[in-house]
């Protein structure tokens, strides 16, 4: 843009440009206030680093779920409201396997199978943490992915495959029905009671670490999340399947003409998205220790926010949106009460979308 054009933009700014300027000024003011608080000692540097770490932890489990949801949208072109309950499926199935293995000899089979629904398999007694029962925790993580993949593929074969040519509204309503069916099937087996099923997290406190002790359950979540996200990136960029998925998300008809098996790509999409959702649900429980049938349903709004903020259909947009949502929830605690953290994230999403309605990555419908 030449100097005359730039001058004209400043002389006659649009309402969106004025709003964007006000938003940038607001962010700048908050950043300056943050610097002031740290410089004056009002906010300890260790607490700020702790909030940033918590933001990364929250961002990663949101990202695992958001990537799966974004993949489903980019390939199948509908918002899957059952995605949240796939997280719940992964949480309950994975921790059931962890309890069955880790609790051998410490509690009876029925109590372990129903995740302490009768109070007979306490997490502390079973040693349900990453140091006391590492094998059980790892096998539970694998089981969460495998079971959720199986459930996702079964749902696709029984329901969505029959609706391949249906409009988006029909698919959305079908996904809501599937979500309710999954949730209350889980409730029928495990009861609706929320309960703690993970023992207190072991801590690691090296002298050189500026943020103090590290929660090893959070560290496990971060390590697992980053590994899976890098794996998805490598798969998309450097494998034949990834190329097929990107081609199909760009233009499904052209992908079919070039010989790509669209049904194979759809099956892979459900498998990858379901597996990521199952792992996310399992890791959330590892971090928060509580499990409930509403686990995924309550998280779904944050997942959708991350996907919409980044640009619906863009996997890398979903990652960026997750990072923004998770960080905002935690950093905002410097200025507002803890129970308003989610409100701050949703408000930021709305403000950004006013300026960029298609999301940060332009609302592309590609991976």
CA gap 146, 271 in Å, rounded? 9
Lowest mean pLDDT among 38-47, 202-211, 286-295: 202-211
In total, the chain counts a number of residues equal to 367
Angle at 80 between CA 306 and CA 167, to 5 degrees: 125
3-class secondary-structure state, position 362: coil
Check residue 245 and give its pLDDT.
Answer: 85
72: closest CA among 335, 230, 265, 273? 273
Residue 279: how many other CB atoms lie within 10 Å: 27
| Cβ proximity of 159 and 178 under 8 Å | yes
What is the per-residue pLDDT for 122? 83
pLDDT in tens, 197-252: 998 888 887 766 666 678 899 999 999 999 999 999 999 889 998 888 888 877 77
DSSP 86-146: HHHHHHHHHHHHHHHHHTTTTS-HHHHHTTSTTS-S-HHHHT-STTTSHHHHHHHHHHHHH
pLDDT at 211: 62
Tell me what the pLDDT averaged over the chain comes to: 86
Residue 210: what pLDDT? 64
CA–CA distance, 37 with 83 (Å, rounded to integer) = 40
- The answer to whether residue 257 scores a pLDDT higher than 90 is no
User: What local confidence, expressed as pLDDT, does residue 366 receive?
Assistant: 41
Around Cβ 43, how many Cβ atoms within 10 Å? Answer: 17
What local confidence, expressed as pLDDT, does residue 11 receive?
Answer: 63
Q: What mean pLDDT is predicted for residues 50-73?
A: 91
> Residues 356-363: what's their mean pLDDT?
72
Higher pLDDT, 359 or 362: 359
194 and 92 Cβ atoms separated by less than 8 Å: no
Q: Using DSSP, state whether 195 is helix, strand or coil.
A: strand
44 burial via Cβ count (<10 Å: 0-12, 13-18, 19+):
exposed
């Amino acid at each position: 843009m030449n100097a005359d054009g730039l001058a004209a933009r400043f002389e006659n700014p649009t309402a969106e440009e004025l709003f964007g300027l006000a938003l940038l000024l607001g962010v700048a003011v908050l950043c300056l206030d943050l610097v002031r608080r740290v410089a004056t000692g009002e906010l300890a540097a260790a607490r700020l680093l702790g909030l940033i770490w918590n933001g990364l932890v929250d961002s990663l489990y949101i990202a695992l779920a958001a990537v799966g949801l974004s993949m489903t949208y980019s390939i199948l072109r509908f918002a899957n409201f059952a995605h949240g309950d796939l997280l719940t499926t992964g949480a309950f199935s994975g921790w059931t396997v962890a309890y069955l293995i880790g609790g051998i000899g410490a509690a009876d089979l029925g109590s372990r199978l129903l995740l302490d629904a009768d109070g007979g398999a306490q997490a502390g007694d079973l040693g349900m943490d990453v140091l006391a029962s590492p094998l059980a925790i790892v096998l539970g993580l694998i089981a969460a992915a495998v079971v959720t993949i199986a459930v996702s593929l079964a749902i696709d074969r029984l329901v969505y495959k029959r609706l391949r040519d249906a409009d988006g509204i029909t698919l959305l309503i079908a996904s809501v029905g599937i979500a309710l069916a999954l949730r209350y099937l889980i409730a029928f087996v495990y009861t609706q009671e929320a309960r703690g099923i993970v023992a207190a997290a072991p801590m690691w406190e090296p002298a050189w670490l500026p943020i103090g002790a590290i929660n090893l359950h959070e560290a496990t979540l971060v390590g697992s999340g980053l590994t899976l996200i890098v794996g998805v990136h490598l798969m998309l960029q450097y494998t034949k399947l990834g190329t097929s998925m990107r081609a199909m998300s760009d233009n499904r008809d052209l992908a079919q003409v070039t010989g790509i098996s669209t049904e194979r790509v759809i099956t892979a999409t459900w498998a990858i998205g379901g597996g990521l959702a199952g792992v996310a649900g399992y890791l959330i429980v590892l971090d928060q220790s509580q499990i409930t049938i509403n686990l995924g349903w309550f998280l779904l709004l944050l997942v959708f926010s991350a996907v919409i903020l980044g640009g619906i259909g863009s996997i890398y947009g979903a990652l960026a949106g997750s990072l923004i949502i998770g960080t905002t929830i935690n950093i905002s605690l410097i200025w507002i009460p803890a129970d308003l953290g989610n409100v701050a994230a949703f408000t930021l999403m709305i403000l950004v979308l006013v300026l960029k309605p298609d999301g940060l990555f332009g609302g592309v419908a590609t991976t």
